[in-house]
Chain A
Amino acid sequence: MSSLNEAPQIGRFDGIKNKLMQREKLTDTAFLLTITITLFFTIYALAVIFLGDKGFGKVQMFFNLFNENAALIVIACGLSIVMVTGSIDISVGGSTALICTSCIVGLNKYGFNFLTSLLLALAIGLAFGILQGLLIAYLEIQPFIVTLAGMFLGRGLVALIEVNQVQVANPAFEKLSGARIEIPFLGDYNKKGIFLQSKLEYGVIVALIIVVLIFFLLRKTSLGRSFYAVGGNPQSALMLGINVKRTRFMAHVLCGLLAGIGGFLYLFHTRSGSVQQATGLEMDAISASIIGGTLLTGGVGNIFGTLFGVLTGGTVLLIVTAIGSQDPWWPQITRAAMLCFFIILQSVICSRKRNKSE
């Protein structure tokens, strides 16, 4: 029960939800998803209207949003999975840095090709996932501590491999990573009035396929539903006959695998590696999940929400860069402020709900 002065607001909130639920029976997950998608399109539309001259009017800008964020999309998918099970992984930035540097060293010095470096990336990601998963799921150690250690381990290992910043010097790989898909019929006229077709990186296709796959996994498979069950109430899940430990473990392994793929996409896009690379990536991924409606407490979340969370975050950053000064600190501060805002929003919504149900 809520206090009297709060009641009307909750009523309004309910009204919206009820309306949505009448049209199609919406679960919490779907309700939050609707909000996220609306939010993204509103923000983007506002950017196009008010900042059209800064590039937002261009079709390529929209595609760049995907090009820049392909890796993040994949990594955020992984984080959404662990967050749905009520866990967390803040090692993804560290593992990404490790993947980039070690792949580059492999490509440059040890004759790796595209395939072997991909395998190496996946192996590193999986190793992180499996190790962290074992500690978190089977030894029940706080996920935060474990993955914090993972994060420092990842960055520390980078320094052991190569202290300096490195660039890919492997022609075959560079050619592959430079390839683009030209989108038919879409494009912009440049200043000289020449039509430029919009270009999309291959990584984006991979990312989108993964989003669809993960969506399917979470929605339709036993494993996917188990993630939700474990996140919603681990005790109950155990009583329902779900192997909670294995489910948690699988979530971390999946997250590790996705971090591996994401790390490789990151490398594919940036072609460089350093100790400080991908700093704050974990926070971007977490905030994308949160913006996308994944609850920090677990049990609620939607992969498409996460996708739109990434895009929303990306758009806000673009807007900040477009209007802001050139000071180097603004992007990071904006990201943090955004995360802060959505965490508080979520906390407020959750506590309201709890009040209502009591």
Chain B
Amino acid sequence: MATHDNTINHARSASIIRSIVKHNIFIPCAFLILLLLINIFINPGFLKVSMGTDSNGHPVLIGNLINILSNATELVILAIGMTLVTASSKGQDISVGATLAISGGVVMRVLCGNETQPSSLHAPIIVALLLGCLAGMACGAFNGILVSRFKIQPMIATLILFTAGRSIASMAMGGLKPKAVSSFGYYGNFIPGFPIPTPILITVLVIIITMLVLKFTNLGLYTRAVGVNAKASSLNGLNPSLIKFLTFVVLGLCVGIAGFVQSSRVQTVNPFTIVPSIEMDVILAVALGGNSLGGGKFNMTGSIIGAYTIQTLTSMLMTLNVNTNAVPVFKAAIIVILVVIQAPIVKAFFSALMADLKSKNNRGKGDDTYVVVE
């Protein structure tokens, strides 16, 4: 910093950079862009989207981006629910993979009955969807009751279904692994003649509904209030237990929709292998979206971008021929790095460092001199 002018310029550009860096969707966006760049580096044609035809000769959009957008559907939908649960209950639901297997299983059982290769659907698809969502919501309600009524830490409470869920799904399907008729596959793949994958449309629909709900109800405000300070919220007429319970049910609904999309996508559900370690992906998406895993405020846009980022990562690892079972290694490493960055101690360390650098200019005021150690 040689001259005065220089200092001002520095300060101005620094403040612009800081406001960008501090923006709450900076981390997921930066990470997403980084991943895309790596992908382009690996495969220069990565961004190319073209029109092709599927095996039946229908026109479809083809390309890595389309695949990522389509495959991220379940993750995005789950991340929306998980964001709310994280904010309200200060914990995560680790049973989403298992409960997704349950709702997927219910969908298959409703559609296929006791046949393994039914020639026609046993029930209208809408019934299957509703029952699948109902199953997901029931699981969410179960978790929600444990957390809100019995005051059990969310992760312990959901550990129960995390372990039992896939077995319950297997039971729900009567131990069968039926394969549904191909028309059921429209919802997880393509509607014949329409080039955009259906899951993308479903995602857009779910996101729009979520945004509308957040805008036209107080779900967001209540969830945040309860997450930040449940006691104070209850003295303001809120019912923290009810709101925690509700967020779990909402997550259950998300699980139900995601389970429907997933089972339509694969058309056969193996409860023990379907969406392996998706709970990890979802938590990762929420954390990556700039949400504190300790609850409180939330950032829905961040979570959604986070989910797409994770899907990009997954597909990149697949391109690099990493075994499916080994993918979690990388994600586990990333989530550890993320939570380390988020950790209050690390943050405090860096902010102390920053404060040291510019302490002379800043003179704050306020009479609360105590750092509250909680």
Contact = CB atoms under 8 A, between A and B. Distances in A.
Contacts of A340: 146, 160
Interface string A335-358: 111011001100110010000000
Interface string A122-153: 00000000000001001111101110111011
Interface size class of A (residues with CB under 8 A): 35 or more
A145 B339 contact: yes
A90 B94 CA distance: 11
B195 interface: no
B158 to A, nearest CB: 10
B91 interface: yes
Nearest to B159: A283
Interface string B217-236: 00000000000000000000
Contacts of B163: 279-280, 283, 332, 335-336, 339
A150 B333 CA distance: 9
B332 A343 contact: no
A142 B92 CA distance: 11
B294 A142 contact: yes
Majority secondary structure of chain A interface residues (helix, strand, loop or mixed): helix
A344 B143 CA distance: 12
Interface size class of B (residues with CB under 8 A): 35 or more
B328 A153 contact: yes
A266 to B, nearest CB: 17
A16 interface: no
A169 interface: no
Contacts of A333: 164, 167-168, 171
Contact of B340 (A139, A160, A330): A139
Nearest to B279: A148
A286 B156 CA distance: 9
A156 interface: yes
B335 interface: yes
B329 A152 contact: yes
A163 B327 CA distance: 12
A159 interface: yes
Nearest to A161: B326
Interface stretch (B68-76, B111-119, B341-349): B341-349
Contacts of B171: 327, 329, 333
B332 A150 contact: yes
A330 B160 CA distance: 14
A156 B334 CA distance: 13
Contacts of B346: 139
26 contacts: A135-B340, A139-B340, A139-B345, A140-B344, A142-B294, A144-B91, A149-B332, A149-B335, A149-B336, A150-B332, A153-B329, A153-B332, A156-B325, A156-B330, A159-B323, A160-B326, A235-B373, A286-B156, A328-B170, A330-B167, A333-B167, A336-B167, A344-B146, A344-B150, A344-B152, A347-B150
Given A149-B336, A283-B160, 5 more contacts: A145-B339, A329-B175, A332-B166, A333-B164, A344-B152
The 8 closest A-B pairs by CB, nearest first: A336-B164, A159-B325, A156-B329, A329-B167, A152-B328, A332-B167, A159-B326, A156-B328
Interface of B: 91-92, 94, 146, 150-153, 155-157, 159-164, 166-168, 170-171, 175, 272, 277, 279-280, 283, 293-294, 323-333, 335-336, 339-340, 343-346, 373
